[in-house]
Amino acid sequence: MSLQTVGRRIGAARPSYRGLYIPRRSLIPAPRANSGPLMERRADRDLPTINTERRWMRTLPFFAIAVGAAMLGIFNYQKSSSSVVSSTLYALRTSPRAREILGDEIYFAQKIPWISGEMNQLHGRIDISFWVKGTTSHGKMRFRSIRPDRMSYFRTEEWSLEKEDGTVIQLLENDSDPFRQSQ
């Protein structure tokens, strides 16, 4: 056996580029779980094993449902805190006809109200409905208003109150639109 072969087997210095001798370093295994802190990092150590399990794929539907529910809640909160909902609720409180049906202290029927419908003020379309309650009964208030073109005012088409038994009472009378601006 030659001297170079023996030297390679025992990890001795070996000749390298242009006859320079570079000491051979032995490979150290990658740290294992609970093996303590890694005190030094060497470039020639083994790479850690890659976890090929896809457990995160099982949680993806739950994440999508949570994000969707949060998104719906945020959009509903944005609708419920808008000036349109506040104005319609105020007009409902001050309407003698609505007070006759619902009673006093008119407010949302639930603690967290669900505002159904579209509220697109930029394109001139508002069509919302939500449940309200008073001291005597409950009802579903519906408000629909459009803006025919960009420079015109909103025109209220429907403002009604549907009682629990299904009867619909029109709160918008001939020329008594509480939402019309003074011109």
Between strands 116-120 and 125-133, the pairing is antiparallel
Q: Point out the residues of the chain with pLDDT beneath 70.
A: 1-30, 38, 40-45, 174-183
Give the pLDDT of residue 8. Answer: 56
Residue extents of the structural domains in the chain: 84-170
> 109-137, pLDDT tens digit by residue?
999 999 999 999 899 999 999 999 999 99
Residues 36 and 158: their CA atoms lie apart, in Å, by 72
CA distances from 3 to 24, 91, 102, 134 (A): 16, 102, 105, 102
> 132-153, pLDDT tens digit by residue?
999 999 999 999 999 999 888 9
Residues 179 and 88: their CA atoms lie apart, in Å, by 8
